[in-house]
Homo-oligomer: A and B are copies of this chain.
Amino acid sequence: MSDMPIPAAAVPSSAVLTDPACPLCQTPGGRVLVQTAEFRVVWPDEPGHPGLLRVIGQAHVAEMTDLRPDERLRMIDAVWTVEAVMRRVLGPDKINLASLGNWVPHLHWHVVPRWKGDLQFPGSIWSVQQAGREASVAAIHNLIRGRLEQLFDEVVRAFGRA
């Protein structure tokens, strides 16, 4: 997504770090759509939010500022790429981006398509669920499920590995 050249990492300083107790070191965390030395894009089939994708760092580091600037830039650029494809394919009312990691302190970005009638809108996806959303949630999930393969294809294509 950037129009600036992004230098390749000379030495993948952080990519060698792993933690045997970390689920994101030990498992992919979902269906892997894109895989690089530094990050992967996965579809975790998140309950309640089937359109959610994650950009997960390959290294076991907790914070964006634990990455070298060039690593950090490539990872957030992946987030923008996923956001752009998600907007084009799913057309949500809003995109939510978050790097929390309180449960699993291994860098991962949630890229979440949101709709006004979804489970928690306008709350976060970690907020209490709204009552009476059954019909709108069903319609949203229907829309998402019908476009998932296109979403996956276009994400893969956007990262240049068709």
Residue positions of A touching B, CB distance < 8 A: 1-4, 6-7, 62-65, 69-70, 72-73, 76, 80, 83-84, 87, 94-103, 105, 114, 121-124, 126-128
Contact = CB atoms under 8 A, between A and B. Distances in A.
A83 B100 contact: no
Contact of A102 (B87, B99, B100, B121): B121
A60 to B, nearest CB: 14
A94 B87 contact: no
Given A2-B73, A72-B80, 18 more contacts: A2-B69, A2-B72, A4-B73, A62-B94, A64-B83, A64-B95, A64-B97, A65-B83, A65-B84, A94-B102, A94-B105, A97-B97, A97-B98, A98-B100, A102-B121, A102-B123, A124-B124, A126-B127
Given A4-B7, A65-B80, A122 B102 contact: yes
Contacts of A3: 69-70
